[in-house]
Structure formats: C-alpha cells, structure tokens
Amino acid sequence: MWRTVGWQLILKFVVTAIVVVAVAEIAKRSSFWGAVLASLPLTSLLAFVWLYVDTGDPQTIASLSRGIFWLVIASLPLFAILPAMLDRGWSFWPSLLVACSITAATYFALIGVLQRLGIRP
C-alpha cells in the first residue's frame, strides 16, 4: 500500500511541476500563450483529479469547486494591481508584495461578506 501511495504522490508532484514549468517556459517565448495556459484552471483541474482519485467522493469535488468559484473573485486584484505597479516603474519584489498583500486582504474581506450572506466557500 505505501508503495502505491508513494508513487501516486510522486506522480502528483511531477505532473503538477510540469504544468507550472510549462507555463513559465511558454511565457518566456510568448506572454500571450503563457497567459492563456496560466489562465486555464489547470491547478483546479489537477486538484479535482487528485482529490477524486484519492477519495472517489464527488461531493468533495463539488464542495471544492464551489469554494474555488467564490474565492477566485478575491484573486483578481493581484492581476490588476501587479501590472499597474510594474507599469508605473515599481520594481518587481515590492510590487509583488503590495499586490499579494492587497489580494490577501481581499480574501479576508470576501470571506467575511460571504459568511454574512450565509455562503460557505
């Protein structure tokens, strides 16, 4: 059993790493195609597959999918703030830090709003 679990875990890491590296390598050649690949919900799809393989429970997948739906809204400021700061001459690391900080605050705010509305992400 441990051998199977070990190989499954290694396979998860390898496939996931290939996807992330592919996005970075493609983006070096074409920012448009890198953005297309990165904008696909590949991480979510991989998580759905790995979770289903591990649990076989479609309700767990449905719950995860619902949570992603709501929380992806909070990730959007990152993709607006980071390029805006870089375009205004900010260096990369401070821009990334500010954009991530604002995005994190947006996550907390959205979770609070959803909870008040009775929605559980």
Query: What does the alpha-carbon distance between residue 120 and residue 67 come to, in Å, rounded to a whole number?
Result: 7
Enclosing H/E stretch for 90: none
Same domain, 62 and 107: yes
Q: What is the pLDDT of residues 47-60, one digit of tens each?
A: 899 899 889 999 99
Domain containing 94 equals 57-121
- Is 28 contained in some domain? yes
pLDDT under 70: residue ranges of the chain: 1-5
pLDDT at 120: 84
pLDDT at 27: 92
- Is 74 contained in some domain? yes
pLDDT at 72: 93
* 8 Å CB contact between 99 and 50: no
Same domain, 62 and 32: no
Same domain, 100 and 68: yes
pLDDT at 43: 82
- Is 16 contained in some domain? yes
pLDDT at 68: 92
- Is 49 contained in some domain? no
Instruction: Please state the domain count of the chain.
Output: 2
Residue 91 falls in which region: left (phi positive, over 0), alpha (psi -120 to 50) or beta = beta
pLDDT at 36: 86
